[in-house]
Amino acid sequence: MSTGRLTLPVQQGMDDELLALIDRLGADAVRNSDGTELPEVVKHLATKVYETYFVGRGDQQWALSHRDQTTRVYLMSRRVAAIGSGPLDIEVAAGYFAAQVAPDTDCDVARWWQVIDRTTGKTLPADQWNLAGAGAQAHVIVARPEPGHLYTVDFLAQQLWDPTQMYNYLTNNWADDPTRVREQPYDVRYPETWEHIKESLARWLDDHEDVDVVRFTTFFYHFTLVYSDLEREGYVDWFGYTGSVSVPAMEAFEAEVGYALVAEDFVDEGYYNSSFRVPTVRFLDWIGFMNRFVTDHVRELVSMVHASGKEAMMFLGDNWIGTEPYGPHYASTGMDAVVGSVGSAATCRMISDIPGVKYTEGRFLPYFFPDVFRPGGDPVTEANQCWVTARRAIVRSPLDRIGYGGYPSVAMQFPAFLNRIEQIIAEFRQIHDRTRGATPIASPKRIGVLNAWGALRSWQTHMVAHAMWYRHAHSYLGVLESLAGLPFDVTFLSFDDIAAGVPDSVSVLVNAGAMGTAFSGGVWWADPAIQASVRTFVGRGGGLIGVGDPSAHAGNGACFQLSDVLGLDRELGYSLSTNREPLSVAEHFITADVAGQSFDAGESTPAVVSVARDLQPLALDAGGDITMAAHEFGAGRAVYFSGLPWSAQNNRLLHRALHWSAHDETTFSQSMADDPRVEVAQWGDGAVLAYSMAFEPVTTVVHAGDRSWTVDLPEQGYVWLS
Amino acid sequence: MSTGRLTLPVQQGMDDELLALIDRLGADAVRNSDGTELPEVVKHLATKVYETYFVGRGDQQWALSHRDQTTRVYLMSRRVAAIGSGPLDIEVAAGYFAAQVAPDTDCDVARWWQVIDRTTGKTLPADQWNLAGAGAQAHVIVARPEPGHLYTVDFLAQQLWDPTQMYNYLTNNWADDPTRVREQPYDVRYPETWEHIKESLARWLDDHEDVDVVRFTTFFYHFTLVYSDLEREGYVDWFGYTGSVSVPAMEAFEAEVGYALVAEDFVDEGYYNSSFRVPTVRFLDWIGFMNRFVTDHVRELVSMVHASGKEAMMFLGDNWIGTEPYGPHYASTGMDAVVGSVGSAATCRMISDIPGVKYTEGRFLPYFFPDVFRPGGDPVTEANQCWVTARRAIVRSPLDRIGYGGYPSVAMQFPAFLNRIEQIIAEFRQIHDRTRGATPIASPKRIGVLNAWGALRSWQTHMVAHAMWYRHAHSYLGVLESLAGLPFDVTFLSFDDIAAGVPDSVSVLVNAGAMGTAFSGGVWWADPAIQASVRTFVGRGGGLIGVGDPSAHAGNGACFQLSDVLGLDRELGYSLSTNREPLSVAEHFITADVAGQSFDAGESTPAVVSVARDLQPLALDAGGDITMAAHEFGAGRAVYFSGLPWSAQNNRLLHRALHWSAHDETTFSQSMADDPRVEVAQWGDGAVLAYSMAFEPVTTVVHAGDRSWTVDLPEQGYVWLS
C-alpha cells in the first residue's frame, strides 16, 4: 500500500474511525476543518499537523477596540441622473449591505472621495458638492448639477465584516448560533495593529507546539467581495485590490512611488480594475506597491514560523491580495508551501507552477460537506470530474500533494466514495513514483500566451470568481484549460515583453479574449510597435493562434489589427457593402481527428469574415460566418477560433493547431492517441502514460515515438505503457 | 372597371395583345423596357408615354473621343505588409476588374493619391514613395517601409465602364452580341461634356415628340459598384459617393468650401464612407457640395424637358448620386415625378414621402423577366409578397402610381398572374378612390428616428444594397419596415437636430443600430449635450425605443450611455464580476398580443444585462440575457429590443411599445385587430380598412374607435368597414 502526499481533514469525537481512515488512505498530514478544532488524537500520530491561522481577523476584541484601524474599501454609489431642477441628492451607500460596509465619513472626504460627472467623465471640484449625514446615512449633495447629466460618488468605506466570514456566517445561518460573532477585519497598515498581529502569532506559535504547519488563511487583504443590500453577492473579484486601500496606504504610496492616487484609480468607472480591464499604469503601480508591502510583512511572519520550528503554508485565496505568487517578491517571503482549491486543470497549474516554494498542495473536490454527501448525492462523480480535469495538469506539472477538506464523518457514510478516492490517491502517487519527479517530454515549441497582464496572471486569465463558469468567459477559458494539459511549455507574456520583438524562445503566440479586454489586449493593439512585433514574428515564420477577438482594436480599416495575418476580420457593420465570396471548408491537418463533427465555438465572436483569398476556412456557422480558419502569412502560420470552450474535441483542435502553426506537424503523431478523449504523456526514460477523460470506456490506438498500442481504457481510465 | 394610376411596359411585335392588356388593366401610361424601343402603336394610344433617357453614358463616340473626361472613382489597394527588408512593392489595382477601372496615373499622383501606413494611420510624405508603371500596370514603391507595418495606396481611377451597363452586359452575356458595346461614362463636371449633354438632350427632345415623360435613368454619378477581378461585385454601396470624384471637382470643392479634400476623405480606411459609418463633417461637406452641383445641372435639364412640353421623371437609382431627394435642393430642380423599385414598405415610403414632386410611382415586383416567368416559376406569390409589403406603406403614405417592368410577352403566358395583378391594381385604385387622397388618422404621438444622418437618409437607414437582406442589418431594418406601415408620423432626426433639446413635436425617439455605426450614433454618444438632451427628454416624460445598441459608446462606466434610462447595458466583459440577479419575465402591455410566443430578436445584440432593479424584462435568451425589456425613467418610459427583424409579431410589439412609451396605451385599442397579422387604418370620414399580411385566411376582431367587427379575411385579404 502506498502512503504519503495526502492531507486529510480531521474532526473531534471519532478518533477510532479517523485513525482507520488515515491508515487506509495513507495520509501523512492532517488539518482541522473550517471552524473546527483539531482532536487531541492527532498529537500522537506520525502525520504532520496543519492548523489554520487567520492573521487579519478573528481577534474581535482588538477589532472593536480599534475601529479606526479596520480595513477600507473603495466603492462607487449608484449612477444618479439630474433630471429635475435644484440640487441633486445622492445616497452614498444605497444598494450596499450596511452590515458589511459603511462610508468612511471621518476621513477628509474632499481629498479621499470623488464626485464624478459620468456624462463628461470630469471630477467635480470639492466646492461643488458637500456631505450630509455620516456613516451609513451619508448623502452627497451636488449644488448645481448639469441637467441631464449622471453623477456618482466614489467613496471610501469601512469594512465592518470580513467577507469570507460574512459569507460563511450568512450561508450557515450563524445568526442563530450565540457563540458566533461577526468578525471585523483590521489592517496591518496601522503599526499598532501590525505589532499586535506579530504578538498574537508569537503567542499562538508558543501555544501550538503540536502543529507542524501553519496554514495561513490568509494574510492581510481580502479579494473584493461586496454584498448588496439584498444580502447577496453584489460584486466579487478574486483578483480585486479594491479592499487593500486606506488613507495611510494612499499616503505611503505617494511617498514611495512619487505621485498621488485618487479614488477613481480604484473605482475605475465602476469596473473596479476587473482583471478583464486593460490595467492602467497607476493600477499596476498600486499592485507593485502593495505587493512589496504585503510580501515584506509576510516575510516577517514566515520567519517567526520558521523560528518556532514549523513550516508556513499559504492558502491561495481569501485574504491573498498583495501576495502575488507569480510576482517578483513571492519567493523572498520564505513561504514553504501553497495550498489551493483545484477546480480545473488551469487552477491546478496556477498552484503547481508557482515558483520558489518547496511544495504545492491541491485541495480536491468534493469537500466533505453535507451538500454533496447526502441521500441522492453523487460524490463519486464529482470526485471523478475533479480528477480527470486535474490529472491532465498534474501529469504536466505535478502538484506535490493532494488533500481534501470538510468533515470525514460525512464522507465515511459513502463507502463507494472512499473506494474511489483510494484509487485516485494511489494513481496520483503512482505518477510521482513512476516518474521520480521528472516532467514528461514537452514539444520543443514553446507557447507564449500574450495578454495585458503577462506572467503576473499566469494561469489566472479569464477567471471571474475562482474557476466558476461564466457565459461570457468560458469560450476563452477553454484555451487555458487545454494548455494546462497539453505537452507544451507555456509562458505568459505581456505586451511590454514583446514590444521590442517576440522572444526567440517562443514558437507560437496565443492571443485569446474578447474585444477591449486585457486578455485580447484592447488599446495595446493601437501601438504600432506591438502590431509590428507580432506581424514580423509571424511573417518570418512564427505561429499565431487567435481566439475570439485577437488583436481587436477598431481602427485603420480593421477590427482585428492583425487581420492581414489572420486572413479574417470581425465585421463591425462598416463593410457590409463589401461583397464576401462564399466560403467552403476543406480538409486540413488541424481538423483531421474531428472531420465531420460540428465545431462548438461556445459564446463566440460573431460576424467573422474572410479578408484574404488564401484563407483556409475550417468551420462556418449557420449563417456562413467563420468560426475556425487557418492562414499562411509570409513564412508563418495563423489559426483562428471564434471561441474555444473546453471539450476533448476542442482540446484536440488546439493541440493540432499549435503543431500546425509551429510548422511541426510530424511530432504531433509521435505522442497522441487516435481518440481525442485520450491523452498521452511520455517520459525521457521511455515510460508512457495514456489517460482518458471520457466517462465511458474507450478503445483507441496510442502512439509514442515509433511505438503504438491498442488500449482499452475504462471510464476515466489510464494505463502505463513501455 | 377602374382605370389609371398604372404604367405598363410595352414591346414591339405584339400590338394586338398589348392593346388588349392595356385595356384590361386600365393602364394610363406605357414605357419601354430596358434596352428596347417603344413600338409605333403607342403613339396612337390615349396613354402617356415614358421613355428612358441616359444622360451620362450611351454616346460611346463621345466617350471614346474624350477619354480624359470619363468619370473617376477613389479606390484603395490591398493592405500590404512589410515583412522582409528593402523596398515594398504594391500593385495598385490588384484585385480590381481591369475592364472597369484603371489607375489614373496621368493626374498629379503626389497630390491626388495617398500612401498610408495603416499601422500608424499616418500618410507617407510623397517623397517616400514613387510610382512605377502606368494605368492598370501601376505599382507604388515604398522606399523604406517600417518592418511589420501595413501599407495601402489610395488611388484615383478612371471608370472605364458604367457599372449598371457592365452589370447588365456581364449578366446577360452581351459579349456574344455584336450590337452591344461597353458603355464608358463621361463626366458632366467637364464643361465640354456638359455642353454636349445638353445638346444631345435638346436634339433628343426634338426627335421624340411622342414621348410625354422623360424618364431619366438617371443623371451624372453612379452609386459605388466596383467589381473584383473575379468579375463579380466587390463593393456595392447604393449611397456611395466614391464615384463622384474628379480632379476638377476636388479643385472646385476647395474653391467653394474653403479647404482641400484628400483621397482618404473618400477611401475612409477602406470603408468608403459606407452609410453605416458615422459621417465626417468633411464627407457631409462633399455631399452638400455635390448636391448643389448635381441639382443645379438637373434643374437645367428639367427646364429643357419642360420647355419641350414634356414631364421629367427621375428613376431613384443607378446614377442618382448627388440628387438627394431628401436634401435641401431637390424640389428646386422642378422634377415632376420620381419612380423607384418597391422591395419593402420602407423602400415604398422612401419613394412616396419624397417632398416637392408632383407624383411618385412604385415599380412593383416581379419584373416580367424569364427568371421568374418560367415553367415552375411562381410569379403570383412574388406579386403577393410585394403587394402585402407595399400596401402597408401605401395605406399610410400613398404612392400616386404603380407600374411594372420587363416584357409583357412573358407575363402573358401566366394568366393566373394577370388575374392577380388585375386585383392588386384594382385594390390600389380603390384606396385612392375611397380616401380621395386623404391619409388615414395617425397617432398624435410623433416618432423621431434618431441617427447620425437624420432627414437626409429618411427611410434609407440600414440599407445595404437596395432593400436586400443582410445578416448584420436585418435586425435593425425591421424597425423601419414596421414604422413604414404603422399609424404614426415619422420624422428622421440627426444628432445636431436634438443637441439643444428634442423638438417638442416628438413624443418618442427611436435609436436603432449596431454599436459604432451611424444608425446607433457611435461617437455622437460621447457628446454630453446629446446624452443630456435625450436623458432629459425621457426623464421629463418622453419615450425612447432602443434597438440593438442604442446610445452605445463605451466609456464612463457604461456601453450604452443611456443605460440608466434603458435600465440595462451591454456587457463588454468588464463587469463580469458584478453579480446579476436572475431575471423573470412578467406580463406587460407591450407583449399582451404575443404572450407565450418566443421572441425572434434576429442577429441581435448579445449579453444585455439589467442595471436597474425596476427593469421589466419582457424576453430573455436561452442564457438569461435580455432581448426585450421596458423601463420607467423619471416621468418617461424606455423600451429595449436586442433586435427587431421584420415579422407580424415584431411589428405588433413595436406598435405597442410606441404606444406604451408615449404613455398612450388607450388609443392603441381604438385602431387595431386582435390578430397581429391584420392591420387597421381609419380615416377622418369614418372609413376603416382592415388588411391582412398573412398567407392564410384569418378571422379576427377589428376595432376602430368604439366600433368593432369580426372579419374573415382570405390570404392577403382586405375589407373596407364603416
- Delimiting residues of CATH 3.40.50.880 domain(s) in chain B: 446-663
Residue B460 pLDDT grade (very low, low, confident, very high; cuts 50, 70, 90) = very high
- The C-alpha atoms of residue B329 and residue B157 are separated, in whole angstroms, by 29
Interface contact B235, partner A, CB < 8 A: yes
* The predicted structure's pLDDT at residue B34: 64
Q: A271 CA to chain B: closest CA distance, Å?
A: 6
Active site residue B206: no
The per-residue DSSP string of A545-558 comes to: EEEESTTEEEETTE
CA atoms of B391 and A684, how far apart (whole Å):
78
The letter for the amino acid at B693 is: M
A55: pLDDT strictly greater than 70: yes
Compare CB distances from A579 to B234, B555, B563 and report the shortest one's residue: B234
List the single residue in A237, A513, A554 with the smallest CB-CB distance to B516. Answer: A554
pLDDT digits (tens, 9 = 90+) for A631-667: 999 999 999 999 999 999 999 999 999 999 999 999 9
Within 10 A of A555 (CB to CB), how many other CB atoms are there? 12
Query: Please, where in chain A does CATH 3.20.20.80 lie?
Result: 1-46+336-437
CATH 2.60.40.1180 range(s) for chain B read: 671-720
CATH number at A671-720? 2.60.40.1180
What's residue B234's pLDDT?
95
Confidence tier at A35 by pLDDT (50, 70, 90): low
- pLDDT (mean) for B545-573: 97
CB contacts under 8 A, A 463-482 vs B, are 464-465, 470-473
pLDDT of residue A133: 95
pLDDT of amino acid B1:
55
Residue B378: exposure state from Cβ atoms within 10 A (0-12, 13-18, ≥19) = middle
* A224, A536, A625: residue with CB nearest B147: A536
The rounded mean pLDDT for chain A is 95
Cβ contact (<8 Å) for B577 and A235? Answer: yes
- Between CA B262 and CA B114 the distance in angstroms is 8
Q: Which of B577, B620, B637 to mutate to test the interface with A (most CBs of A within 10 A)?
A: B577
Q: In this structure, which topology does domain A1-46+336-437 adopt according to CATH?
A: TIM Barrel (3.20.20)
How close A577 comes to chain B (CA, Å)?
Answer: 5
Provide the pLDDT for residue B471.
87
Q: SS3 for A6-65, per residue?
A: EEEEECCCCHHHHHHHHHHHCCCEEEECCCCCCCHHHHHCCCEEEEEECCCCCCHHHHHH
Say which of B318, B549, B564, B593 is annotated catalytic.
B318
Backbone angle region of A185, left / alpha / beta, with phi > 0 → left and psi within -120 to 50 → alpha: beta
Dist. CA B467–CA B346, nearest whole Å: 8
Question: Distance, in angstroms, between B602 CA and closest chain A CA?
Answer: 12
CA distances from B658 to A634, A710, B297, B435, B644 (A): 55, 67, 42, 26, 14
Name the more confident of A13 and A571: A571
Q: Nearest 5°: CA angle at B553, between B551 and B556?
A: 105
- Residue A172's pLDDT is 83
- Complex ipTM more than 0.85, yes or no: yes
Closest among A389, A314, A298 to A50, alpha carbons compared: A314
Nearest chain B CA: its distance from A451 CA (Å): 15
> CB-based contact (8 Å) between A556 and chain B?
yes
Return the amino acid letter for B412: M
Percentage, residues of chain A above pLDDT 90 = 90
Instruction: Give φ, ψ of B163 to 5 degrees.
Output: -60, -40
Please determine, for residue A1, whether its predicted confidence score (pLDDT) is greater than 60.
no
Quote the mean pLDDT of chain B.
95
Residues of B in contact with A233 (CB under 8 A): 579
Residue contact B235–A577, C-beta within 8 A: yes
pLDDT recorded at residue B35: 66
Give one DSSP letter per residue of A97-157, joined into a string: -TTTEEE--SS-HHHH-EEEETTTTEEPPGGGEEEES-GGG-EEEESSPPTT-EEEEEEEE
* Chain segment B463-472, per-residue pLDDT in tens: 887 777 888 8
Q: Which of A162, A265, A318, A600 is catalytic?
A: A318
Buried b (16+ CB within 10 A) or exposed e, B128-143: ebebeeeebebbbbbe
Which phi and psi angles does A577 have, rounded to 5°? -75, -10
Beta strands B6-10 and B401-403 are: parallel
* pLDDT tens profile A414-431: 999 999 999 999 999 999
Say whether pLDDT at A459 is over 70: yes
A594 compared with B93, residue with greater pLDDT: B93
**Per-residue confidence (pLDDT) for residue B282, from 0 to 100:** 98
Calpha distance B344→B365 (Å, rounded):
10
Q: Do B577 and A237 touch (CB under 8 A)?
A: yes
Selected for mutation to probe chain B from A241, A578, A613, A620 (highest B CB count within 10 Å) is A578
Half-sphere exposure of A206 (CA within 13 A, CB side): 6
Measured torsion, CA atoms of residues A696, A701, A702, A703, in degrees rounded to the nearest 10: -160
Please indicate whether, in this complex, the C-beta atoms of B557 and A269 are within 8 angstroms of each other: yes
Axis-axis angle for helices A191-207, A281-307 (nearest 10): 30
Position A506 scores a pLDDT of: 98
pLDDT tens digits for range B214-246: 999 999 999 999 999 999 999 999 999 999 999
| Confidence label for A12 from pLDDT (cuts 50, 70 and 90) | confident
Q: Which residues of B touch A149 (CB under 8 A)?
A: 528, 531-532, 535
Contacts of B120 in chain A (CB under 8 A): 528
- Could you read off the pLDDT of B428-451 as tens digits, one per residue? 999 999 998 899 999 999 999 999
Average pLDDT, integer, range A582-594: 95
Q: How confident is the model at residue A34 (pLDDT cuts 50, 70, 90)?
A: low
- CATH assignment of B446-663? 3.40.50.880
From B333's Cα to the closest Cα of chain A, the distance in A is: 30
